[in-house]
Amino acid sequence: AELEVLMRKMKVCGLLLFAIFLSSCASMTTTYEKPEVSLVSFQPLSRKGMEQTIVIQLNIKNHTKKELSISKFSYSLKVEELEAVRGVFSNLKPIPAFGATKIEFHATMNIFSAFRILESAIKSKNGAIRYALNTKIHSAWWKLASTSAKSGQINLGSTYNL
């Protein structure tokens, strides 16, 4: 009889411990605010042979309360549905908690793609071109890469007096 009472008490204690464990797991937040990446500017520079050099400026926002240390940043930018540029960076400066930083870099693209993009900008009434930006951020403290896909329009009219 005493053994049965002891077994019941152990079952009740086990169930209580399990319930406490589940409620503590439910109260833990495992959400991760992804960094937000946006295209700020896309400016053509010089042309050499069959390559057009452009300057791309991106803005990266950190929405977390921790500094964001980026170990690897990769991007792919399509303009007017043409793969314009892609690349990888490593060891960018950390982004402060709830802060943002702009990164600017030079890239080269095929001159024929550049002409097609310019032609699209001329055909549009306001010099705007469509873009699609895909990024992947690897941080030092989050195991999974954060991916982002943005699309929109950017105006080249002022650059080329369209």
Which pLDDT belongs to residue 162? Answer: 43
Which pLDDT belongs to residue 102? Answer: 94
Which pTM does this prediction carry? 0.71
Which two structure tokens, joined as six digits, stand for 129? 């071109």
Which pLDDT belongs to residue 132? Answer: 93
| Mean pLDDT for all residues in the chain | 82
| Chain segment 62-107, per-residue pLDDT in tens | 998 889 888 899 999 988 887 778 899 887 889 999 999 999 998 8
Which pLDDT belongs to residue 82? Answer: 78
DSSP annotation of 109 reads E
Name the band, by pLDDT with cuts 50, 70 and 90, for residue 159.
low
3-state secondary structure labels for all residues of 46-107: EEECCEEEEEEEEEEECCCCCCECEEEEEEEEEECCEEEEEEEEECCCCECCCCEEEEEEEE
